[in-house]
Amino acid sequence: MNGWSALDHFLRTDPRDVGCAEAMQMLHIYAELTAAGAPAEQGYPGIAAHLRACGPCGEDFDGLLAALHSEKD
Amino acid sequence: MGAADSGVGQTRAAATRLDAESAEWLQALAGSGSRQEAALARLHAMLVRIAHGEVRRRSQRLRITGPELDDLAYQAAADALVAITGKLGQFRGESRFTTWAYKFVIFEVSAKIGRHFWRHPSVPFDAEDWDRLPDRFGFDPTQGAEWRDLLTALHRAVDEQLTARQRQVFVAIVLNQVPLDTLVIELASNRNAIYKTLFDARRKLRAVLAADGYIGNDCVGSS
């Protein structure tokens, strides 16, 4: 990603974005659906939009997903 | 930011049936005596395992190593256990119990990493070195003529269009690369409020730059 696209990406906001509070409240449901291969993004587009834009919530989502996958190891 | 399509309502409506394993966890943890003690010990061991896995996963990007990282994992597991046992009544069965529990320990790891960087900041939260701006977005120094006007306009918009709070959050997170969870502690705020402040700042800056012809005026999902 070059400077122009990085700045464009940073400034781009999605009106569906539900914010951190709601994403954190729903994260276990969204992660479990994702781990099961279900179309979580279609069911929860506002959560998906938020996780794409918010670094900390995206990191928590990745961590929760990794925890779920670790159960299978 | 909107909440209408988050799905909270649909999951609440469906959250009446517990799977057998989740029901067993709830009964044991809400009970008493040796059964409860055994469940607490089992849950704690599980949380420690997840916390260790999570700090290992994040460790390459952190300036935390060795025993300090282990301590962070154990503290996160202990605090998560307290949070979970205090909120058992809030578990509604929308996921397995263990998935819900893992979420708490992941959040605790994040909060403790944020606190670590608050205690050991690499730059002052309010430092303002605008020469860092090109690097923050990965602009090529050899092509400065192409982006200098854009970044000058961005700097001007930050100064003239943002509220004092929006500017403070922009400077800390973008210029100084303060982790959002660390800024939460510094400003005695919460993740949602800081994110919303930055979200509004981003939208405002995009509108200003678009009005001046520097970038397009589209936003995701608005069509």
B108 CA: distance to closest CA in chain A (Å): 10
Q: How far apart are CA A65 and CA A58, in angstroms?
A: 10
What average pLDDT does chain B have? 88
At A61-73, the pLDDT tens digits run 999 999 999 987 7
Write down the architecture of domain B17-119 according to CATH: Orthogonal Bundle (1.10)
Mean pLDDT of B80-106: 97
Whether pLDDT at B6 is above 70: no
Chain B CB contacts of A24 under 8 Å are 103, 107, 191-192
> B141-196: per-residue pLDDT in tens?
888 887 889 999 999 999 999 999 999 999 999 999 999 999 999 999 999 999 99
Residue appearing with tokens 């279609």:
A42
Of B57, B100, B134, the CB nearest to A28: B100
The answer to whether residue A9 neighbours chain B at the CB level (below 8 Å) is no
Tell me what pLDDT residue B220 has: 55
> What is the residue extent of each domain of chain B?
17-119, 130-211
Q: What is the pTM of this model?
A: 0.89
Topology (CATH) of B130-211: Arc Repressor Mutant, subunit A (1.10.10)
User: Per-residue pLDDT averaged across B64-74, rounded?
Assistant: 88
pLDDT at position B126? 79
Q: Between A8, A26, A64, which is nearest B8 by CB? A: A26
Element (H, E) at B202: helix B191-211
Distance from the Cα of B114 to chain A's closest Cα (Å) equals 10
Point out the least confidently predicted range of B14-23, B111-120, B139-148, B169-178.
Answer: B14-23
CB contact under 8 A, A18 and B147: no
In degrees, to the nearest 5, what angle opens at C-alpha B114 toward C-alphas B128 and B94?
A: 130
Rounded to a whole number of angstroms, the CA Rg of chain A reads 13
Band of residue B16 on the pLDDT scale cut at 50, 70, 90: low
ipTM: 0.94
Q: Summarize the confidence of residues B60-74 as an average pLDDT.
A: 86
Range of the domain at A32: 3-70
User: Which whole-number Å values give the CA distances from B162 to B1, B137, B166, B169, in the listed order?
Assistant: 18, 19, 6, 10
Find out whether A24 and B107 touch, Cβ atoms under 8 Å. yes
The number of folded domains in chain A is: 1
- Tell me how far apart the alpha carbons of residues A56 and A54 are, in angstroms, rounded to a whole number: 6
Tens digits of residue pLDDT in B195-214: 999 999 999 999 999 999 88
Which DSSP helix (H) or strand (E) runs through A61? helix A55-70
